[in-house]
Amino acid sequence: MRASNHLIGLLNFLTFLLSAVILGGGIWLSSRANNTDCLKFLQWPLIVIGAAIMVVSLAGFAGACYRNTFLMWLYLFAMFFIIAALVGFIIFAYAVTDKGSGRPVMNKGYLEYYLRDYSGWLKDRVVDDDYWANIRSCLRDSKVCSKMGRSFNGVPESFEMFSMRKLSPIQSGCCKPPTDCGFVYVNETLWNIEGGTVGLGTDTDCPRWSNDQQQLCYQCDSCKAGVLDSLKKNWRKVSVINIVVLILLVIFYVIGCAAFRNNKRIDNDEPYGEARMTKAQPSRIQL
């Protein structure tokens, strides 16, 4: 029995460490939201879940080590709902990021992003005019586009070099015009519109492009698609870690149930590892 309680105490200490992983994932998403993704509400459920697991694991650790039945009951009760919340968050994260991806472009190292490839709740949230105004302002303040510039020995990179770059979804969608526009490259964020296909209907984003460094393609659908794709990739990375943590939490929860039953046996003065009923000794047959 004591070995079982010591084991659950150790497992809850490990759960405490796992909660730090979940909390770290939420903080990482928060830093991404502040620096690039600019969607600042998605990380909070993960931060809350990580903090809740951290507190509950401490209760379970104390309950197992000090054989406190109430703390163990509180731990199991709370952990059940936390596991359910984590399952819900993982399902939600995959559901809202299940569609859309970048499209390859001939002779280009980067991908192009189209808003029509995405759908669902997250897209509706991003394209909302009021919400996009905040995202656009955040993208501008993050200076993600101004950081794209490269030079070699003091010479700016050529169009051929730029074309082979692996741009992030936001860099591709927000910091340059769509390739279909046919604009002439000057530098990473400056393009000559003359001779392009703007106004010919090949891409509705073409007339939205501006060489004003405060505007660029922040009004473009490709920019919104780039934000969505960036969110998708980051959420999927965190979700993989959450799935591993979830599996471990379920295992720890099952072991916690066993430790709780052991504590109940002690409280009721029940023997552990022995049968509760003994078979009556058979009487001798009288000849």
Cα separation, 33 vs 133, in Å, equals 15
The pLDDT, as a whole number, for residue 263 is: 62
The pLDDT, as a whole number, for residue 35 is: 60
**In what helix (H) or strand (E) does residue 156 lie, and over which residues does it extend?**
strand 155-156
pLDDT in tens, the chain (287 residues): 455 566 667 777 888 888 888 888 778 777 766 566 576 666 777 788 888 888 888 877 777 677 677 777 888 888 889 889 889 888 988 888 888 889 999 989 999 999 999 988 888 988 998 889 888 888 888 888 988 888 887 788 999 999 999 999 999 999 999 998 889 999 999 999 876 555 444 568 998 999 999 999 999 999 999 999 988 888 888 788 888 888 888 888 887 777 677 666 655 555 544 444 444 455 554 44
Domain-by-domain residue ranges, the chain? 1-99+234-265, 103-227
Cα separation, 199 vs 221, in Å, equals 16
Cα separation, 12 vs 6, in Å, equals 10
The pLDDT, as a whole number, for residue 284 is: 52
Q: How many residues does the chain have?
A: 287
Query: The pTM is what?
Result: 0.77
Q: Which residues, 6+ apart, have CB-to-CB distance to 59 below 8 Å?
A: 71, 74, 75, 78
